[in-house]
Structure 1
Amino acid sequence: MSLDQYVTLGRSGLRVSPMCLGAMTFGEDLGWGSSVEESCRIMDRFLELGGNFIDTANFYTKSHSEKIIGDHLGRHPAKRDRLVLATKFSGNLYPGDPNGGGSGRKSILAACEQSLRRLQTDYIDLYWLHNWDVHTPMDETMAALEALVQAGKVRYIGVSDTPAWKVVEANMLARFRGWAPFIGLQIEYSLLERSVEQDLVPMALEFGLGITPWSPLKSGALSGKYTRLTAASQPRDRGPFLDAALNDRAFALIDELAAIAAAHGTTVARVALAWVCGRPGVASPIIGARRLAQLEDNVGALDLKLAPEAVARLDELTRPTFGFPQSMMPIFPSIHNAGTTVNGVYGAPSPFSIQPGEATY
């Protein structure tokens, strides 16, 4: 598979590359990240390889990320128009202004205009709710997004880092009022973060939202750079993110990834990414390369076909433990229908499904 083998995002006609270029690392304003020049080289190479999906947010690197993209691509209509350009709102760039962020109408409309200006474009292909604003009714948020869609400033909308029940509320509102629904779900998803398989992934499969996992390498913990022997001596630009991830459980997984990578003649990062690419509902994992070499390595995961036994070992090593109500399901198999789960995620026959001729007590 290559970057130009496009897939539709969720229940929509929007065609995106099977990997998305994440731009949270564009700019060095936070003390780590890519220089402007390296960011531009990464974008050009991604496009050259066939990628068409770039994701950023209004406050990534203090909004410099959007400006880097706009300065490089916004001035070139041919490049911009073939892109699926995604950005997010909710983040507050104006300390002290209570309406400078969040998901209220005033904030959303202002944030959209500011992003359009920085990106040097007339429209945003995919506009994400970055995270749930508990202080704003969901119908107000969805109505404001519908107004942007009707005005032609936004083509599609998506949702990130929001509880499953709230996403369902939003899309039910959209369905019954004839508004644009969320077509994509952006969530943290990796071998070290599988708790989303309890509610968010089944919800996405049920309602037709394309999943775009962020941090599929767990902030670099699964990049192959960190092992039991080298972790202490390796620089950690994203220390707060990495420190919590690198523990005995992670090192056991990294050891297994290294063994699988050796057997397949590939890299640890590609194995970890290939696992994510193969999960039910996943449309386009977000890869956040800081250097061109990282981009080249990550994209190589699309050509990797993991052996079934390798996938099984990784699944067993990282299988999450769910609470209620999933914890009760094996006890009451009669409530399950055939064709419900894949590796603990809804979608294929469940090991607890009732077979013909079995009693259902």
Structure 2
Amino acid sequence: MRYRLLGRTGLYVSELCLGTMTFGGQGFWKVMGGLEQGAATALVKQAFDAGVNFIDTANVYSLGESETLTGNAIKSLGLPRDELVVATKATGIMSETAVNARGQSRYHLMNELDASLKRLQLDHIDLYQLHGYDPLTPLEDVLSTLNDMVRSGKVRYIGLCNMAAWQIMKGLGISQRHQLARFESVQAYYTVAGRDLEREVIPLIQDQQLGLMVWSPLAGGLLSGKFSPDGTGPQGSRRANFDFPVIDKPRAFRVVDAMRPIAQRHEVSVARVALAWLLSRPQVSTVIVGAKTPAQLADNLCATLLELSQDELKELDDVSASPPEYPGWMLTMQGQYRANPPVKD
């Protein structure tokens, strides 16, 4: 297991992060995994023993049950707190009857931080993330609340998930102007078959020195190589029951077809090739992997051992390239003006 810096924090996190969306089975979330305590604890131990020091969860996963199972696992295994980086999130609806149990109001975020700490059985959260954008709460108020959490010692760093580039940059500007704790990480969907993030968000990440945490690196299982274009796949699989995240499926299957011979040459799964492609991207801090079984997690963990050749990476880059969009193609043309310095005889 290798470790990478999370943005400019100076904090090292494992290049694979254990995602816990499969822990618990409350309501809708049961289709994600429905794992009970014994299975969840076994996966946490397996990941930690393999060198994973980063765990990501969220209050909304099984309405708190995922955090509870994660906290119980950490405690029962006796994992050293100073060797773990624990991340969670808040924004989503936590109650259908409590009208303020949603969004990013100070009321809701403060309540949810305390609830997450209690469920996780921790005295602080290493990375507390906004689980999306709340258009009804001024970002100044949200960042003021997060800043108070950091100053209280209950939160070490703050991050965000699933925001547009302008929203992220607006938040960074507010933090700089008011001297508040700033976003240090972005958690976003990014795969070899879904490279939209490269248009606006990744250039921002690089410019502002933010960490990038990738979720759903296998596109909900579609890039495992176990699905066919006619929609058939493993019985009981997540993608079969919940067709998410949104993806250009014809392009995705072209990418899968390109990955198959690469996987065969290396004698590995197609999923490992998809993960290895992500791990080759210098802007990626960590890739979040979730699993229902020890075998799935073991295969994902082995992706750290796979090094694709430059020719293989180029082949995957070419087949997965996003179609050009404005202003991207104009920016590329403009960049050529400065690509080579002038020469004077």
TM above 0.5, one fold?
Answer: yes
Q: Are residues 179 and 161 of structure 1, via their aligned partners in 2, closer, same or farther at CA, if it must alter by over 3 Å?
A: same
Q: Are residues 113 and 206 of structure 1, via their aligned partners in 2, closer, same or farther at CA, if it must alter by over 3 Å?
A: same
Q: Are residues 295 and 246 of structure 1, via their aligned partners in 2, closer, same or farther at CA, if it must alter by over 3 Å?
A: farther
Measured after TM superposition, the shift of residue 233 of structure 1 is 5.0
CA distance, structure 1, for counterparts of residue 11 and residue 84 of structure 2: 11
CA distance, structure 2, for counterparts of residue 307 and residue 294 of structure 1: 24
Deviations 1:224-257 (A, max 9, x none): 222458x525323343325964833222211111
Deviates more, 1:68-77 or 1:118-127: 68-77
CA distance, structure 2, for counterparts of residue 303 and residue 280 of structure 1: 17
Deviations 1:26-50 (A, max 9, x none): 1233333033211110100111111
Q: Would you say 1:188 and 2:189 are equivalent positions? A: yes
**1:58 matched residue in structure 2:** 59
Q: Would you say 1:24 and 2:17 are equivalent positions? A: no
Q: Are residues 130 and 322 of structure 1, via their aligned partners in 2, closer, same or farther at CA, if it must alter by over 3 Å?
A: farther
CA distance, structure 1, for counterparts of residue 245 and residue 89 of structure 2: 27
Q: Are residues 243 and 330 of structure 1, via their aligned partners in 2, closer, same or farther at CA, if it must alter by over 3 Å?
A: closer
- Conserved 8 A contact 1:221-1:246: no
- Conserved 8 A contact 2:220-2:245: no
Deviations 1:13-64 (A, max 9, x none): 2221111100011123333303321111010011111111000000102211
Q: Are residues 165 and 247 of structure 1, via their aligned partners in 2, closer, same or farther at CA, if it must alter by over 3 Å?
A: closer
- 2:276 corresponds to which letter in structure 1? A
Length-normalised TM-score, structure 2: 0.92
- 2:232 corresponds to which letter in structure 1? A
**2:10 matched residue in structure 1:** 13
CA distance, structure 1, for counterparts of residue 217 and residue 105 of structure 2: 30
SS in 1 for 2:168: helix
Deviations 1:162-208 (A, max 9, x none): 11111112122222322211111100000121111000000000000
CA distance, structure 2, for counterparts of residue 312 and residue 212 of structure 1: 23
Q: Would you say 1:274 and 2:276 are equivalent positions? A: yes
**2:342 matched residue in structure 1:** 356
- Conserved 8 A contact 1:58-1:87: yes
Deviates more, 1:242-251 or 1:313-322: 242-251
Select the structure that is richer in helix: 2
- Conserved 8 A contact 1:24-1:56: yes
CA distance, structure 2, for counterparts of residue 357 and residue 312 of structure 1: 31
Deviating 4+ runs (over 6 angstroms): none
Deviates more, 1:264-273 or 1:171-180: 171-180
Measured after TM superposition, the shift of residue 322 of structure 1 is 3.8
**1:232 matched residue in structure 2:** 232
Q: Are residues 270 and 233 of structure 1, via their aligned partners in 2, closer, same or farther at CA, if it must alter by over 3 Å?
A: closer
- Conserved 8 A contact 1:19-1:299: yes
Length-normalised TM-score, structure 1: 0.88
Identity of aligned residues (%): 35
**1:178 matched residue in structure 2:** 179
CA distance, structure 1, for counterparts of residue 244 and residue 326 of structure 2: 30
CA distance, structure 1, for counterparts of residue 192 and residue 170 of structure 2: 29
**1:219 matched residue in structure 2:** 220
CA distance, structure 1, for counterparts of residue 126 and residue 244 of structure 2: 32
**1:304 matched residue in structure 2:** 306
Please, which runs of 5 or more residues in structure 2 have no aligned partner? Answer: none
Deviations 1:82-103 (A, max 9, x none): 2101000101111143421111
SS in 2 for 1:212: strand
CA distance, structure 1, for counterparts of residue 287 and residue 73 of structure 2: 23
**2:81 matched residue in structure 1:** 80
**1:258 matched residue in structure 2:** 260
